Amino acid sequence: MADQITLRGLRVFGHHGVHPEERANGQPFVIDVVLGVDTRPAARTDDLTQTVDYSLLATRVADAVSKDPVDLIETVAQRVADVCLEQPSVADVEVTIHKPEAPVGVQLDDVAVTIHRSRT
């Protein structure tokens, strides 16, 4: 069983979507990231460089979501996974992109896409 570092509920405003009003007006996105990391080296040494600096990672994820509008949240999820896997200690990642204000024509609480990516 792999160790995990989890960031939940990162809120970012973006302009992603297939509808013109989504691109023009933007909307909130909520991101959850679960990182597979062997935390033993950091625990042994008490050294931040041996694990993931989640403060820095949260900023990088927010930047990845807020920039360069795309049509699909699947694309945004892949972008976030790529940012996470740039961290040397991350073996795999689960990314969920929530789009709570998705214009689907009926009332709902959330639309989300979850992807799993690994180095292998």
What CATH number has the domain bearing residue 93?
3.30.1130.10
> What pTM did the predictor assign?
0.93
pLDDT value for 105: 86
Q: By percentage, how much of the chain surpasses pLDDT 90?
A: 92
Distance CA 44, CA 25 (A): 48
| pLDDT tens per residue across span 5-34 | 999 999 999 999 999 999 999 999 999 999
Query: How many independent structural domains does the chain possess?
Result: 1
CA distance 35 to 28: 23
* Distance from C-alpha of 30 to C-alpha of 21, rounded to nearest angstrom: 19
The catalytic site residues sit at 99
Range of the domain at 63: 4-118
Give the whole-angstrom CA distance, residue 81 versus residue 20: 26
Q: What's the pLDDT at 103?
A: 87
